[in-house]
A and B are shown apart, each in its own frame.
Chain A
Amino acid sequence: MSVSAEDIFNKIMDAAETAFNEGWVVVKNYAPAEFRKMAVQLESIAENVAAFEIDKSQGYSPATGKVLFRMQRRATEAVLIAVTQLTLMAVEKALNAIIKVVKEAFGAALAAAL
């Protein structure tokens, strides 16, 4: 049995793409949803501070708005770290899929040669 570089390359590409896409779907679903939540929250902070300025029994004070804004920045950091971790997991899946293909390719070639 011959070892074809082209054949192995194609198998590696297929395996890596499939594995990476499986992990990447999680990132693609998670990140935009969280960024949308951030936009909604920032709008809500502005609206509630404005409501308080008109009627002190409504919304919340600018001081509270300031703390909530700080919390939102912190949440942004958390989302970006999570996205990084999820991306790493997608890369990890792709790398392991490649190793599996290579192992199978050489295992089969070895069995045939012996």
Chain B
Amino acid sequence: MNRILALLGMAMLVSACGSIRLVSDYDEVIDRGVTEFSEQLSTHAKNMSELAGKPDGTYEATLMKYNALDSKIEGLITRARNNSDGKICKLHRETLARIKVLMKEQTPSQLQEGTDVSTATENSCSSRLLELARDQLSDIRTIHRDIDKCGPGMDISCLRPATSKDALAIAMQSANAVAIVETAKKSR
């Protein structure tokens, strides 16, 4: 009798323990949104590469495209932030230590070490990934507007072909980081 009661107790304990979630649910809006962002950024960079030095390739001629891309990624950031309950993205000690070695004093203050990982902190990591993708776009805009120059007199704003190629490859790494996490969530 005692044995059956013990088994019943264990069964109740185990059944009370539903499946564990360390990572938030798949978000189709973010997955689809970041894919569209990547496609549009890719098209923009390739267009700028071909139009470098021409009137259509100047920053002034394309700033509306930057604004559209910026609005798109900001919308996704807002969505991810709304799901994070004001929590911050917490990383494992070793991961954060590596980031600090790489980024030194520029390590974002938003990143902290923590063991209280939850879906809220994880949503904050999703938000952080999207912020990084937005910052990459901002840097491409800065190069286009203020740094790269083309034309006979090297006085026309542009994205040089070499710049477009490298900036796109780097920005895609950030956007892909969001996409691969969402894809992994979708397949579990």
Contacts and interface: CB of A to CB of B under 8 A. Distances in A.
B183 to A, nearest CB: 9
Contacts of A18: none
A13 interface: no
Contacts of A26: 180, 184
Nearest to A100: B19
Contacts of B106: 73
A99 B14 contact: yes
Interface residues of A, number: 55
Contacts of A21: none
Interface in A74-114: 74-89, 91-93, 95-96, 99, 102-103, 106-107, 109-110, 113-114
Contact of A56 (B92, B122, B154): B154
A74 to B, nearest CB: 5
B181 A86 contact: yes
A37 interface: yes
A82 B177 contact: yes
B148 A61 contact: yes
B160 A80 contact: no
B108 interface: yes
Nearest to B136: A71
Given A60-B160, A84-B125, A41 B14 contact: no
30 contacts: A26-B180, A30-B180, A34-B173, A44-B165, A44-B166, A60-B163, A61-B147, A64-B160, A67-B143, A68-B139, A68-B163, A72-B170, A73-B102, A73-B103, A75-B173, A75-B174, A78-B133, A81-B125, A81-B128, A81-B129, A82-B177, A84-B92, A85-B181, A86-B181, A86-B184, A88-B122, A92-B23, A93-B188, A106-B14, A110-B11
Question: 6 shortest A-B CB distances, which residue pairs?
Answer: A78-B177, A82-B177, A75-B173, A78-B174, A92-B22, A71-B170
Interface of B: 3-4, 7-8, 10-11, 14-15, 17, 19-23, 89, 91-92, 95, 98-99, 102-103, 106, 108, 111, 117, 122, 125, 128-129, 132-133, 135-136, 139-140, 142-143, 147-148, 154, 160, 162-163, 165-167, 169-171, 173-174, 176-178, 180-181, 184-185, 188
